[in-house]
Amino acid sequence: MHLHDTAAHHLVTRVPTARPLDRAADARSRLQGEWDSAEAVYLVDEGQLVGTVPIRALLAAPEDTTLATLASRDAPRARPGEAQERVAHRALRHGVHEVPVVDADGRLMGVVPGRALLRVLREEHVADLHRMAGIAREGHEADVDEPPARRLQHRLPWLLAGLFGCTLTTVVMSRFEGRLAASVAVAYFVPGVVYLASAVGTQTQTITIRALSLGRVQVGRFWPAEIVTGSLIGGSLGGLVWPLVRWATGDAQLALAVASAVLVACTIATSVGLLFPWALDRLGRDPALGSGPLATIIQDLLSLLVYFGCLELFL
């Protein structure tokens, strides 16, 4: 992870501090001055951060109130090497405007101010959109005034991966040429099976990527639930597909094969949508790379294999 993407990059150090037993009146009198950020007064005891007093609470407190009685001791805090996106979302969850940064010993280093948190949320949102669209960028912002050659450089890499995936898809289809020649109706349902599985996988990817960015995914608990969810979705869609294919083709066995393929492909799609981003995260890569063209290639190939496998089984 680059320094630019961590809490340390956004750290400011000139913030109000006080001791836990200081009076509110004394703390207010020391607020005059220039601060990098002044959303709260941070209580420090021998260098360690022991509490946070929001400015609004300090201003409303009676003069003789000790700051320790006003302090929140479970306010969010971050480490300097922590991912900037997690820090920003932690601030949102706790409803605070800035997040203090502490070292391994709990010593206050400074804060990530609100203006930085807003900038981080916007940058990460734009970056995720780019990755999901398969656009490789050096920065976070899209420049509509870029020359065509520059746009080509940003967009082509993942599309080349997609071209490779198309080649593999062609190879898979060619292996079942006999099945396609025997019944042209078999080819009618390839786009539908592939699309439904891809859509289900995309839903899981979106949920997983966002959860990973916030540090909330426990695969041991999340994966079984997603498999069950994928099976229920696949079963529901397969149940709707069977009568439609049966009515359109008059072939009950083909209808059963298509419905079964939808069920199995959707179930597998949830696993791919979860495990691919999770594996990238474990490898220290951005889990958002687990969406877009690369994940689509993998999912489409698996869906084709499932579909033709079901055809071989039922026809």
Q: How far is it, in rounded angstroms, from Cα 178 to Cα 170? A: 14
pLDDT-based confidence at residue 2 (cuts at 50, 70, 90): low
Helix (H) or strand (E) holding 18: strand 17-18
Q: For 3-121, give the CATH class.
A: alpha beta
Name the phi and psi angles at 107, rounded to 5: -85, 135
Tens digits of residue pLDDT in 111-161: 999 898 888 888 777 776 666 665 655 544 555 566 777 767 766 776 777
Residues with Cβ within 8 Å of 190's Cβ and at least 6 positions away in sequence, in order, are 304, 307
Fold agreement (3-121, 148-314): no
pLDDT-based confidence at residue 165 (cuts at 50, 70, 90): confident
Which has the closest alpha carbon to 52: 72, 79, 28? 72
Among 86-90, 109-113, 240-244, the minimum mean pLDDT is found in 86-90
Q: CA gyration radius for the chain? A: 27
pLDDT-based confidence at residue 276 (cuts at 50, 70, 90): confident
Q: What is the pTM of this model?
A: 0.64
* Residue 263 predicted with pLDDT over 90: yes
pLDDT at 5: 78
Domain ranges in the chain are 3-121, 148-314
pLDDT-based confidence at residue 281 (cuts at 50, 70, 90): confident
Sign of CA dihedral 70, 75, 79, 84: negative
Task: Please provide the size of the chain in residues.
Answer: 315
Q: Per DSSP, what are the bridge partners of residue 41?
A: 53
Beta strands 17-18 and 40-45: pairing type? parallel
The 3-class secondary structure across 206-249, one letter per residue, is HHHHHHHHCCCCCHHHHHHHHHHHHHHHHHHHHHHHHHHHHHHH
Question: Three-class SS of residue 142?
Answer: coil
Q: Classify the phi-psi angles of 277: left when phi > 0, otherwise alpha if psi is within -120 to 50, otherwise beta.
A: alpha
* Residue 217 predicted with pLDDT over 90: no
Q: How far is it, in rounded angstroms, from Cα 14 to Cα 81? A: 20
pLDDT at 140: 46
Terminal-to-terminal C-alpha distance of the chain: 51
What's the chain's average pLDDT? Answer: 83
pLDDT at 216: 61
pLDDT-based confidence at residue 52 (cuts at 50, 70, 90): very high
Higher pLDDT, 159 or 193: 193
Q: For 148-314, give the CATH class.
A: mainly alpha
